[in-house]
Chains A and B, each alone.
Chain A
């Protein structure tokens, strides 16, 4: 970095979460050059970066080299930041992050528990570089891995990936190197490289943040693979909802072409490779690789039977390597630091790190990247800061709709591909949704089944009919019409679908039902036998009331009730008028004294 490192740099987080909270306005305010900012810095030193990770406290402004991070910044704060912290050396205390544990204001966000337990590998550049700038990427060893690979034999590159023990980050966990090797061994041409950026798991945005925040990294990973297997054409399949990702990747591809990293005779090596972006159509099943390939070809996204793997017969019947975004972003790193170093992190069966989107009922929501083998407890309580308010942790859901819910008793589980599978859940692409006692596990199972019923492509009977039948039963239970035999029936259908469905979507679809039945059977029984939803979510089965002994009459719930159903004098216990109540739960969420209860 040389002389550059002495100059002040301003990094403004413009990830999805921060944009929703006004991140772009903050960035624009810096760009407007108030108070002659650019006398100190060139406009290149004001960067709109990808996601910083701790989305719940955004928008972030990070000032380098002093490493000051301000959070929840508003456009109106910008002038003050420039005067005090960029021109001067003063800290603005009120904008510093308040560590939830020590209650102290912290200057350097890297040192708080949220960050200090993390290990950024796939996300190594996200939040530090301007994703639109090729130069920024080059400054951080960008395309060095490609140069290195081009000097190696293709077989040696594949061996490096095999030795690193990299497994597919999209959920399957298939060894990436073996996939490449299989494709390398085929003689049929042309061959294709595909990046799966159809991040369909509701509650997950890891891939989005990489595509948006470090697009060249993905391109470099694909280029390296193209060299090893001998492919000339690549596709990146992106969800259409991710407008920011499409824009960032488009810019990155055109910049890479212009500078000789893509196109014909790349870096004078004789390698020809180009990448095209395909926008997805919003179908969850397209995250399944064969369905995704069908979609690229211009068909409806129905999966096909994998008697023959895509590495042999994939896109248009030709050999195809398809990997997930996060997998691709690990590839350049393996080449740079070597397989040995990469494999030194992680567990016996799962090497390296994994990015999770830690969301739901947890204090620090955002993106976290931890070594494989980190315990769920560390992720949720140390990094995530636990469940907000006085609520109680109930479960963590991993693996998206195909995953399962893990109860408190298993929180010391070391997270990797194999351990989560054994617990009845799965790694999936890395969604991690924390649930507290206000979450109804029966309703969660119903939610996932409803989702999957809508996303089942309908090609095979077990998935199409099985999911629908399970959904009907769960709806019945949530509405108070369930009977005890329903539970056996659910397990029965679940096992059948698991065994007989055509693709991974169907085979994993019963997981949410089976795992909640296994760990939270008492909640099912409560719904069926006592006609009561303990979490107060199933509207037919819950009625709210205020515990007069706990209520101190602060009036917050009465003020926030959208239908004026809460009444009472100030400082006197309040009551809920159940004829008006729409059971939205606002009062429960508001009450600091846990006085609002479910009957």
Chain B
């Protein structure tokens, strides 16, 4: 990424998010959740603003942002795949799904494609064990996947160039 600074109206949006909460340490996580939802990741400037607002050292806010799995310090794709790798999904073949996504999109878990279309994350359990293996694409559940199924899902969200492997 060339620059991490937010443009003007984004700064206003950021203020609006932060100001919803009292300026206390215990609201840091809630603020980060809302920022993450709005910007699709945690921009540095947003973390700095959060630290200042809650009166907590930036290093502590940063350590929370990296400790909790729900947060990402790099922008996520327009389509964010959360592949469930809970135990049930795992023994029903989630590794196959992850491998397929990695090889087709050329990204690893935690990464985003260069055109910001896709990002991949593995999560521990989405509570959908009865329909394993499953993945969430921008929050929508795709149940009972296999190697062929995940190709369809990729094609569905990314157009033909992602559907076929070079």
Contacts and interface: CB of A to CB of B under 8 A. Distances in A.
Interface in B117-166: 123-132, 134, 139, 141-143, 146-148, 151
Nearest to B31: A298
A202 B147 contact: no
Interface string B44-84: 00000000001010001001100111110000000000000
A439 interface: yes
B146 A203 contact: no
Contacts of B88: 202-203, 359-360, 433
B96 A282 contact: no
Contact of A55 (B87, B126, B130, B151): B130
A560 B90 contact: no
A562 B130 contact: no
A295 B26 CA distance: 8
Interface string B69-113: 111000000000000011111111100100100000000000000
B91 A299 contact: no
A408 interface: no
A400 B26 CA distance: 29
Given A20-B131, A279-B33, A562 B147 contact: yes
A85 B126 CA distance: 35
Contact of A19 (B26, B56, B141): B141
B28 interface: yes
A19 B147 CA distance: 23
Range, interface on chain A? 35 or more
Contact of A284 (B32, B99, B124, B127): B124
Nearest to A512: B87
Interface string A376-387: 000000000000
B27 interface: yes
Nearest to B84: A202
A480 B131 CA distance: 32
A182 to B, nearest CB: 25
Interface of B: 24-30, 32-33, 54, 56, 60, 63-64, 67-71, 85-93, 96, 99, 123-132, 134, 139, 141-143, 146-148, 151
Interface of A: 16-17, 19-21, 55-56, 58, 199-205, 208, 240-243, 278-284, 295-301, 357, 359-361, 365-366, 397, 400-401, 431, 433, 435, 439, 444, 447-448, 451, 457, 560, 562-563, 582, 584-586, 589
Given A298-B29, A359-B132, A562-B151, 6 more contacts: A199-B125, A279-B30, A282-B68, A298-B25, A357-B129, A586-B146
